[in-house]
Amino acid sequence: MKKELTGSSMDNEQILRRRMHGLYLTRKCGDIEELSRELLGLHCWFHRNVAFSALIRGADITGWKTALTKTWLYRGTLHGVACDDLPVLLALHPFKAYWWRDFLSDDELQTIADEVVQCMEDGIYSRAEMRNIFAESYSSEVIERIFSPWGGIFGGLAQQGKVAFRNMMSRDFDLIDTEPTQTADEVLPAVLRRYFAAYGPATIDDAAWFLGFIREDKKKLKALNLDEYSRFEFDRNTYYYVDGNSDIGDIPELTLLSGFDPLIVSYTERGAVLPPEHKKKTILSSGICLPAIAVNGKVAGLWNIKKGEPVTELFTSQPKRIERAALERVEAIIWQTSGRI
């Protein structure tokens, strides 16, 4: 069993130092595919956040539009994923068609899925084109559900590893062949280790949230052998991590975070990095998490690119050097992404 630390052995600052190291905010990962594997995918509600997240972490984004595969993963959210990682990550949540059963039988759903695949084999990749084609045979209610902008039939096929977006910026789809070959129980131990290696220290609740596990599925995490991890008790919670015995570095004075940055959205408790007074400014009521500026590891402002120009907003007064440095970093991102996003 790994050494169990006392509650005083690690505090919020040390937790944050380890997380920032694991998430490549105090070191660099030069390859975007490797970065995606390490972080179990890059959040892609807005495609440019993938480029932002990669650049912030030192990755080269040359060819990034096709280097990763854009598809639905945990909690039904879009991620940019290394294609060879998809069979493992998709295995965590086997496809279940229960959400169609109020208006389609399994056989009817399979027929429609087969017809969609046939359309793509015939060179039709657009959701809009397919809506028009299927409107001749199905009711408006079925069309709205099947071709919902939130996924619909494409989300179901993606969950099976059969379909993904054509590239990171496209709204059209293409056929892929990444169907899971293992069960969820078979892949879970290795995926959980990868989570704690990159995102730790983290709790089981954090892991369950990140991986989209609820109720009975969450119990599977607790039933795994957790003795292989280093752990400690803090604030009445048990935190797990993989101790790499390396220099984890210090918390930078200034850090840019992408929209939906994993440092913010990957944990159930976000107060250590996102002060409560800044939460509503950073995470909107719609659920959108904006690109943020962290000062000494805590969110202290926002940044963005609007009409090709850098925009920064600090919530409280900061030293001039922080203001200048934040603006310069956003300008650098504009230069690095010019013509690429």
**97 vs 214 pLDDT, higher one:** 214
User: What sign results for the dihedral spanned by CA atoms 313, 315, 316, 321?
Assistant: negative
CA–CA distance from 298 to each of 37, 50, 275 (Å)?
Answer: 26, 21, 7
List pLDDT tens digits, range 135-153: 999 999 899 989 988 889 9
- pLDDT of 296 > 80? The answer is yes
Side-chain half-sphere of 216: how many Cα atoms within 13 Å? 2
Q: What whole-number percentage of the chain has pLDDT above 70?
A: 96
Q: What is the Cα–Cα distance from 116 to 138, expressed in whole angstroms?
A: 13
Query: What is the average per-residue pLDDT within 317-332?
Result: 97
What confidence score (pLDDT) does residue 9 get?
Answer: 61
What confidence score (pLDDT) does residue 8 get?
Answer: 43
Q: What is the Cα–Cα distance from 77 to 53, expressed in whole angstroms?
A: 16
List pLDDT tens digits, range 170-195: 999 999 999 999 999 999 999 999 99
What confidence score (pLDDT) does residue 170 get?
Answer: 95
What confidence score (pLDDT) does residue 1 get?
Answer: 42
What confidence score (pLDDT) does residue 6 get?
Answer: 41
Q: How many other CB atoms are found less than 10 A from the CB of residue 176?
A: 18
Instruction: Report DSSP letters for 206-267, one per residue.
Output: HHHHHHT--HHHHHHHHHS--TTSEEEEETTEEEEE----S---PPPSEEEE-TT-HHHHTS
What confidence score (pLDDT) does residue 96 get?
Answer: 74
CA–CA distance from 117 to each of 19, 97, 328 (Å)?
Answer: 41, 17, 47
List pLDDT tens digits, range 1-32: 444 444 446 789 999 999 999 999 999 999 99
Q: Model confidence at 278, in pLDDT bands (50, 70, 90)?
A: very high
What length does the chain have? Answer: 341
Helices marked H in the chain — which ranges?
12-22, 32-38, 48-56, 64-67, 86-90, 106-121, 127-134, 140-146, 152-159, 184-199, 204-211, 215-223, 262-265, 279-282, 320-337
**247 vs 129 pLDDT, higher one:** 129
What confidence score (pLDDT) does residue 245 get?
Answer: 67
Q: What is the token pair recorded at 129?
A: 């084109």
- pLDDT of 165 > 60? The answer is yes
- pLDDT of 92 > 60? The answer is yes
Asked if residue 326 lies in contact with residue 303, where contact means CB atoms within 8 angstroms, the answer is: yes
What confidence score (pLDDT) does residue 7 get?
Answer: 40
List pLDDT tens digits, range 214-263: 877 888 898 999 999 999 999 899 999 998 767 888 999 999 999 999 99
Which residues are CB-neighbours of 219 under 8 A, at least 6 positions away? none
Average pLDDT, the chain: 92
In the chain, domain spans: 98-159, 254-337
Asked if residue 323 lies in contact with residue 314, where contact means CB atoms within 8 angstroms, the answer is: yes
Instruction: Name the β-bridge partners of 312.
Output: 303
Asked if residue 174 lies in contact with residue 164, where contact means CB atoms within 8 angstroms, the answer is: yes
What confidence score (pLDDT) does residue 99 get?
Answer: 59
User: What sign results for the dihedral spanned by CA atoms 99, 148, 291, 281?
Assistant: negative
Asked if residue 207 lies in contact with residue 218, where contact means CB atoms within 8 angstroms, the answer is: no
What confidence score (pLDDT) does residue 100 get?
Answer: 66
Q: Model confidence at 88, in pLDDT bands (50, 70, 90)?
A: very high
**309 vs 75 pLDDT, higher one:** 309
